């Protein structure tokens, strides 16, 4: 599960960068950078890191 | 100002605020242009007022949740009810955020048809009736406390809010029904729904906040501020009423209202009285 959390986090951060730069256009209504999509994926990436933190806390306990 | 009061009430009552703000201007023949920058700025202000009212109403709960979230992050584990509720709300907000960014634009195209919006209002009623019937069918099952909800159930309840992207489907109605189907009481399902609404409405209004600062919006700043205050007051009164109402009542009266209002509007739309 810890490796899954890392993969999800890295994947989300990569998607966030691609949307921010406007390279990725999937699910968008107009061409160009999509900051809202980038922010959402950035936040989900951070949440995946929080999930990783909880996995580490649980394994220590 | 009527639109502001309507937004404050209908955002939290399970009757679809979006459906009402689309249908009522058509019914009353108000010259509302939904793509006008001044109207969009006004709507952002109304959402901000509504979110602020929810935050004030549940202020003690949100303080406990924030402290619980911080504690769990420091300890690296979730070991108290406040932290658990906080992470349940996070789990419920993520699916809505994803649905919002990917589905809002395609769904927005449906706003132009009063018949379709009315039909969704009828669907909203049927969802509430079905939820109550299924809840009654499972009445012998032990009712699950909010603290015992799994993260998967929390995420499912949050995802159900995405149905409200369709104008006519109520966000609170969908999430209360999802809560009932997860085994919660009306009381807990409504509380979880209102807590879920706070970050969703706040995030929407914060992300759209630049619209309030646009040059075109300066002419309606006073109206927007008054609208936000009125929406906030009516939203506060609504959540105070609904939290008491759901102690001993269910969703069916709202279902009957949506069914009748939706059927009347659908008939008028089909007869081309509203278009």
Q: Do B94 and A53 touch (CB under 8 A)?
A: no
Of the listed ranges A3-7, B20-24, B63-67, B239-243, the least confidently predicted one is B20-24
* Contacts with A61 from chain B: Cβ below 8 Å: 77
The 3-state DSSP composition of chain B as helix, strand, coil percent (nearest 5) reads 80, 0, 20
Q: What is the mean pLDDT of residues B187-204?
A: 91
Q: What is the mean pLDDT of residues B12-19?
A: 88
Write the pLDDT tens digit of every residue in B114-138: 888 899 999 999 999 999 998 887 6
* Contacts with B76 from chain A: Cβ below 8 Å: 53-54, 56-58, 60
Q: Which helix (H) or strand (E) holds B17?
A: helix B17-27
Mutation site for B-interface testing, chosen from A11, A18, A50 by largest number of B Cβ within 10 Å = A50
Alpha helices in A1-61 (DSSP H): 2-21, 35-60
Of the listed ranges B77-91, B118-132, B143-157, B236-250, the least confidently predicted one is B143-157
Query: How large is the angle between the packed helices B221-248 and B2-12, nearest 10 degrees?
Result: 30
How near does any CA of chain A get to the CA of B108, in Å? 11
Q: Which of A46, A51, A44 is nearest to B101 (CA)?
A: A44
Write the pLDDT tens digit of every residue in A29-50: 788 888 889 999 999 999 999 9
* Contacts with B101 from chain A: Cβ below 8 Å: 27, 34, 36-37, 40
**pLDDT classification of B214: cutoffs 50, 70, 90:** confident
Q: Do A58 and B77 touch (CB under 8 A)?
A: yes
Write the pLDDT tens digit of every residue in B47-83: 889 999 999 999 999 999 999 999 999 988 888 899 9
**How many residues does the structure list for chain A?**
61
Separation in Å, CA B190 to CA A7, B242, B247: 35, 8, 10
Given this model, what pLDDT does residue A58 score? 63
Given this model, what pLDDT does residue B107 score? 77
Secondary structure (3-state) at B35:
coil
pLDDT at B275 over 90: no
Nearest CA in chain B to A60: B76
Q: What is the pTM of this model?
A: 0.89
Q: Which of B75, B77, B102 sits opposite A27 (nearest CB)?
A: B102
Write the pLDDT tens digit of every residue in B73-111: 998 888 889 999 999 999 999 999 999 888 877 777 766
Count of CB atoms within 10 A of residue A10's CB? 13
Three-state SS across A32-45? CCCHHHHHHHHHHH
Q: Give the C-alpha separation, B205 to B267, whole Å.
A: 34
B216 in A contact zone (CB under 8 Å): no
Distance of CA B12 to the CA centre of its chain: 6
Secondary structure (3-state) at B30:
coil
Write the pLDDT tens digit of every residue in B22-40: 888 888 887 777 667 777 7
């Amino acid at each position: 599960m810890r490796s899954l959390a890392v993969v999800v986090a890295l994947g989300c951060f990569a998607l966030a960068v691609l949307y921010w730069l406007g390279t990725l256009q999937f699910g968008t209504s107009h061409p160009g950078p999509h900051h809202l999509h980038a922010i959402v994926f950035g936040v989900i990436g951070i949440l995946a890191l929080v999930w990783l933190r909880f996995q580490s806390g649980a394994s220590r306990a | 100002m009527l639109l502001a009061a309507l937004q404050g009430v209908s955002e939290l009552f399970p009757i679809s605020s979006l459906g009402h703000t689309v249908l009522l201007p058509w019914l009353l023949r108000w010259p509302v242009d939904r793509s006008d920058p001044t109207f969009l700025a006004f709507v952002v202000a109304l959402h901000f007022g509504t979110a602020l009212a929810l935050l004030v109403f549940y202020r003690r709960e949100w303080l406990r949740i924030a402290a619980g979230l911080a504690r769990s992050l420091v300890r690296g584990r979730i070991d108290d009810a406040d932290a658990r509720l906080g992470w349940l709300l996070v789990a419920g907000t993520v699916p809505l955020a994803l649905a919002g960014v990917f589905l809002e634009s395609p769904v927005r195209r449906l706003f132009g048809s009063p018949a379709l919006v009315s039909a969704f209002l009828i669907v909203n009623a049927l969802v509430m009736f079905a939820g109550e019937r299924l809840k009654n069918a499972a009445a012998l099952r032990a009712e699950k406390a909010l603290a015992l909800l799994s993260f998967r159930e929390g995420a499912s309840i949050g995802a159900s809010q995405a149905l409200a992207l369709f104008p006519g489907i109520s966000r609170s109605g969908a999430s209360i029904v999802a809560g009932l189907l997860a085994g919660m009481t009306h009381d807990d399902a409504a509380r979880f729904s209102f807590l879920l609404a706070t970050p969703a409405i706040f995030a929407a209004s914060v992300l759209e906040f630049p619209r309030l600062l646009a040059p075109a919006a300066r002419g309606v700043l006073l109206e927007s501020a008054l609208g936000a205050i009125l929406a906030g007051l009516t939203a506060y009164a609504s959540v105070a009423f609904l939290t008491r109402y759901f102690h001993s009542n269910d969703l069916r009266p709202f279902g009957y209202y949506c069914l009748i209002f939706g059927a009347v509007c659908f008939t008028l739309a089909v007869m081309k009285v509203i278009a």
